[in-house]
Amino acid sequence: MGLAPVSDDVLADGLKRIAAEIDEAFDALLPVPLDARAKLVEAMRYAVIGGGKRVRPLLLASTAEMYGVDREAAIRAGAAIESIHAYSLIHDDLPCMDDDALRHGKPTVHKAFDEATAVLAGDALHAFAFEVLADPAISSDPFVRIELVRALGHASGFQGMAGGQMMDLVAEGEEFDLQTITRLQQLKTGALLGAAVEMGAILGHVPAEGRTHLRGYARDIGLAFQIVDDLLDHEGDEEAAGKALRKDAAAGKETFVSLLGAERARDQARMLVHQAIEHLSQHGREADLLRSIARYIVERDH
Amino acid sequence: MGLAPVSDDVLADGLKRIAAEIDEAFDALLPVPLDARAKLVEAMRYAVIGGGKRVRPLLLASTAEMYGVDREAAIRAGAAIESIHAYSLIHDDLPCMDDDALRHGKPTVHKAFDEATAVLAGDALHAFAFEVLADPAISSDPFVRIELVRALGHASGFQGMAGGQMMDLVAEGEEFDLQTITRLQQLKTGALLGAAVEMGAILGHVPAEGRTHLRGYARDIGLAFQIVDDLLDHEGDEEAAGKALRKDAAAGKETFVSLLGAERARDQARMLVHQAIEHLSQHGREADLLRSIARYIVERDH
């Protein structure tokens, strides 16, 4: 790469900054109404404010920054993609899905409120994401806004995240091979991480043909992210994770760790991160944060 | 109005035509993938093909036709709004919500498949709606597309349908007055019916200030629609409805019928339909289908 390694401080600062900005954006965009809808918005706020690593908004804003995008616009788009991520977690945690009681170290939405409110809060956050992207405040250019909607809609629908979640449901008791697990994870987690980078580039007016290397970067870190998730699920600490672990093994689901073994899985994740950074070789220091994020993905402990 | 009454045949033909076109659009837009996502897309297709009155697509396409919009574009937008309607029914029917076993005369999605698949199929239809609207096939003008997304996102989110559903959940055991019930229904049902008309006008490049009379029309038929729904729930036939009835009374929820009595509720619905048709006075025969829809809303038996 020929560039000096980025200090961890850059990433730590980036994560801290984006967390505060995203919280602020949600607080401003989701005022609690003074009527019977209050409970719904309170559940939405409970799910999106003050929790999560904000990896998707960070990826989006870091990519946007490379292309000189206005920070306010990047944060709004970051809030939109984080809304989609949050709605998918709320629905994933429901008793009929993964039946989880803990998320980000606090009770899941259906535990803190009730199941019906959790279903609705997820649905409302889903619509909210597209409302935010369609608002002229994000860009005066309607083409930029509709491209953001397209990227996020495609990444979260049946051809992306929701499709991956379905494959994951079916995975229980099935003997999926490495290729199928890779495909499943590319859809379930990778599609939205890829959309984060894509959306940053769309805000930066980068034409589709100029985003190929960014797609390569996103695909590699997406897969590395999931392999590390499997490793953390296998050997991580429940308290640091803020959620229940070792559920895949209990459910008899194949993972990268069950298929490759922990050591080869870790090697694979490192290789992917190296490859992801290689995709950024045409960029100088302006891509340092994306490089740091790639490294953070394999080094994180939760 | 000074115009001869429209024959019922016009409406019957309109309903039949749109039903076939919407089924065709879903069939083409939702091919079943040859992998583990198949079950998800099968559940989506089960929910959207061959059922429902298609009132929202009909409203959208009838408005679009007044302004000379390409039929293919109107059908695509109609499929998008019907997807939102369908996802809300799937989630509404879940055991933790209304716990319904029957919809459009066949088992609800969670009965025909399972609860987890129903949650995901609803989510996937939700994203699908925005994907369809963002696709250039609907309009080469990105401003038209983003305005469609805005209208649908706003109508279905916490400030629209989802907000109304929350009020409806809270309504159980609360003594809501007529004003609150009206507000609840304007959000729960009216917002999406209004969006149907609005989206037809957006496709027709009608500027926001030229849509005031259409908004008035939509508001009035939306409220009339819900009053008639309450009347049908009160005295209708379960077989014709294809779903369970008299659930509001059982749950102790206030409705237009419980608050006004059946006779005054019926008068109110007729008055609203009359008023809705008055809003169309600036239009000639090209608005006949919208007039027929308004009349159909009070005259339907399911």
pLDDT tens, residue by residue, B126-184:
999 999 999 999 999 999 999 999 999 999 999 999 999 999 998 877 788 899 999 99
Nearest to B134 among A117, A149, A170 (CB): A149
Contacts of A187 in chain B (CB under 8 A): 37
In a domain, A116, yes or no: yes
pLDDT digits (tens, 9 = 90+) for A141-168: 999 999 999 999 999 999 999 999 999 9
Among B40, B41, B81, B182, which would you mutate to test the A interface (most chain A Cβ atoms within 10 Å of its Cβ)? Answer: B40
| Residue B113 forms part of a structural domain | yes
Q: How far is A261 from chain B (nearest CA, A)?
A: 24
How does pLDDT run across A216-244, given as a tens digit for each residue? Answer: 999 999 999 999 989 998 887 777 777 77
Domain residues for B152? 8-299
Residue contact B146–A150, C-beta within 8 A: no
Identify which of B36, B96, B114 has the shortest CB distance to residue A119. Answer: B96
Instruction: Measure in Å the smallest separation between the Cα of B65 and chain A Cα atoms.
Output: 24
Q: Which of A130, A134, A163 sits opposite B40 (nearest CB)?
A: A163
- How would residue A2 be classed by pLDDT, with cut points 50, 70 and 90? very low
Cα distance between residue A9 and residue A186, in whole Å: 30
Calculate how close chain A gets to B150, using CA atoms only, in Å.
Answer: 5
B39 contacts A170? CB cut-off 8 A: yes
Nearest-CB residue to B157 (from A33, A124, A157): A124
Give me the pLDDT at residue B252, please: 75
Residue B2 lies in a domain: no
| Cβ contacts from A onto B, under 8 A | 174
Residue A139 belongs to a domain: yes
Alpha carbon distance B280, A223 (integer Å)? 56
Mean pLDDT on B266-274? 95
User: DSSP label at A103?
Assistant: E
Q: Has residue A38 got a pLDDT over 80?
A: yes
Burial of B50 by CB count in 10 Å (0-12 exposed, 13-18 middle, 19+ buried)?
middle
pLDDT value of position B10:
82
Partner-chain contact A126 B127, CB within 8 Å: yes
Q: Do B117 and A169 touch (CB under 8 A)?
A: yes
**A123 and B122 in contact by Cβ < 8 A?**
yes
CB contact under 8 A, A97 and B87: no
Say yes or no for a CB contact (<8 Å) between B122 and A124.
no
pLDDT for the residue B80: 98
Chain B nearest C-alpha distance from A239 (Å): 27
Q: Count CB-CB contacts under 10 A for residue A22.
A: 24
For B176, the closest chain A residue by CA position comes to A36
- pLDDT tier at B221, thresholds 50, 70, 90: very high
Distance CA A26, CA A42 (A): 12
The CATH number of the domain holding residue B244 is 1.10.600.10
Q: What would the mean pLDDT of A187-206 be, rounded to a whole number?
A: 96
Alpha carbon B109 to its chain's center: 19
Q: What is the interface pTM, i.e. ipTM, of the complex?
A: 0.93
The answer to whether position B197 is within a domain reads yes
Residue count of chain B, please give it.
302
Three-class SS state of A145: helix
pLDDT reading at B290 higher than 50: yes
The answer as to whether A157 is a domain residue is: yes
Cα atoms in the Cβ-side hemisphere of radius 13 Å centred on B119: 27
Per-residue confidence band for B1, with pLDDT thresholds at 50, 70 and 90:
very low
**pLDDT value at position B3?**
45
* A130 domain-assigned: yes
- 8-state DSSP, A217: H
CB < 8 Å to B97, chain A: 116, 119
CA distances to B69, B78, B210, B283 from B206, rounded to whole Å, are: 11, 18, 6, 14
B217 touches B275 (CB < 8 A): no
What is the mean pLDDT of the segment spanning A128-140?
A: 97
Does residue B140 form part of some domain? yes
Q: Which residues of B touch A44 (CB under 8 A)?
A: 158
Which of B117, B142, B147 is nearest residue A143 as measured by Cβ atoms?
B142
Contact state of B154 with A131 under an 8 Å Cβ cutoff: yes
- Measured between beta carbons, the chain A residues lying within 8 angstroms of B96 are 94, 114-116, 119
**Percentage of residues in chain B having pLDDT higher than 70:** 96
B177: its two tokens: 């007055």
What is the distance between the alpha carbons of residues A258 and A248, in angstroms, rounded to a whole number?
10
Average pLDDT over residues A193-197: 96
Identify the CA nearest to B123 among candidates B50, B40, B191.
B40
Whether pLDDT at B7 is above 70: no
Task: Assign A106 to helix, strand or coil.
Answer: strand
How does pLDDT run across B42-68, given as a tens digit for each residue?
999 999 999 888 999 999 999 999 999
Mean pLDDT, chain B, rounded, equals 92
Percentage of residues in chain B having pLDDT higher than 90: 77
User: Count of domains in chain A?
Assistant: 1
Nearest CA in chain A to B146: A146
CB count within 10 Å of CB A137 equals: 12
Whether A36 sits inside 8 A of B174 (CB atoms) is yes
pLDDT in tens, A60-97: 999 999 999 999 999 999 999 999 999 999 999 999 99
Does A181 score more than 60 pLDDT? yes
| CA-based nearest residue to A189, from A231, A146, A220, A145 | A220
Pure H helices in A3-156:
8-29, 38-48, 55-66, 71-92, 109-112, 115-134, 142-156
Out of A120, A128, A169, closest to residue B165 by CB: A120
> Which of A37, A158, A160 is facing B41, going by the closest CB pair?
A158
- As a whole number of angstroms, the distance between CA B276 and CA B260 comes to 21
Structure tokens, B73: 């574009």
Mean pLDDT of B70-94: 97
Local structure of residue A187 (DSSP, 8 states): I
Chain A residues touching B115 at Cβ < 8 A:
96
Please enumerate in sequence order all residues whose Cβ is within 8 A of that of B120, keeping only pairs 6 or more positions apart, or say none: A91, A162, A165, A166, A169, B40, B43
| A207 backbone φψ class: left, alpha, beta (φ>0; ψ -120 to 50) | beta
B28-38 pLDDT tens trace: 999 999 988 99
Q: SS3 string of chain B?
A: CCCCCCCHHHHHHHHHHHHHHHHHHHHHHCCCCCCCCHHHHHHHHHHHCCCCCCHHHHHHHHHHHHCCCCHHHHHHHHHHHHHHHHHHHHHHCCCCCCCCCEECCEECHHHHCCHHHHHHHHHHHHHHHHHHHHCHHHCCCHHHHHHHHHHHHHHHCCCCHHHHHHHHHHHCCCCCCHHHHHHHHHHHHHHHHHHHHHHHHHHCCCCHHHCHHHHHHHHHHHHHHHHHHHHHHHHCCHHHHCCCCCHHHHCCCCCHHHHHCHHHHHHHHHHHHHHHHHCCCCCCHHHHHHHHHHHHHHHCCC
Average pLDDT, chain A: 92
Instruction: Say which residues have a Cβ less than 8 Å from residue B258's Cβ, sequence separation at least 6.
Output: B248, B249
Residue A174 or residue B114, greater confidence? B114
Per-residue pLDDT, A1: 37
Mean pLDDT computed over B13-18:
92
